[in-house]
Amino acid sequence: MNDSVSSDTHVRGAIEAILMVVDEPVAPADLAAALDVPEPSVISVLEGLRDEFANPDHPRGFELRATDGRWRFYSSPLYADAVGAFLVEGQSARLSQAALETLAVIAYRQPVTRGQVSQIRGVNVDTVVKTLSARGLITEVGEQGGAVLFGTTTQFLERLGLSSLDELPPLAPFLPDLAAIDEAS
């Protein structure tokens, strides 16, 4: 057996094993460093695994996805109902309407201060921001004039199944003509 082939098989197996035990998505550079192989080789293996697991002729219960440039196994959307039925009630408590609205403002306007979110929503959002932060969906990303700036986290992207914020759906179709509102001000 060719040493190159056995080495490639070992790297592929090691990447699969690591991805099976991680709690958060892993950067290709971290995998490359742990396995002492070039990062482009790791990326090639990750992309190959992603494509293999996405084969529609052989559907699997999981998929390999990149989120914000980091890789992780996720359960397949094909089996979301089965996974949802299996999970114990309350393990993934739903967000309130206020939390969803606040999260949407932060996602689309980030970085944004708590005061700016309150102004947009027309209500105090202190408690909701604490809840979203505790759930790991938002985080402090800086400061502006003494006020903390908030943005979404990688966990937010993961929960929505997005690889980046660029994949958020456009809001324009759901909003009044903002140009007319700006001219009236």
Distance CA 148, CA 142 (A): 6
For the ranges 27-31, 37-41, 144-148, the lowest mean pLDDT is seen at 144-148
pTM of the model: 0.54
Neighbours of 94 (CB within 10 A): 8
pLDDT at 1 > cutoff 50:
no
Distance CA 151, CA 137 (A): 9
pLDDT at 175 > cutoff 80:
no
Determine the average pLDDT of the residues in 119-137: 89
> What residue has token string 């040493």?
3
Which domains are seen in the chain, by residue range?
Answer: 3-86 (1.10.10.10), 97-184 (1.10.10.10)
Determine the average pLDDT of the residues in 3-18: 83
In the chain, alpha helices (H): 3-21, 28-35, 39-53, 80-86, 97-109, 114-121, 126-134, 154-160, 178-184
Partners of 112 in the beta sheet? 150
* Burial label, 106 (beta-carbon count in 10 A; 0-12, 13-18, 19+): buried
**52-85 residue pLDDT tens:** 999 888 889 999 999 889 999 988 888 888 877 7
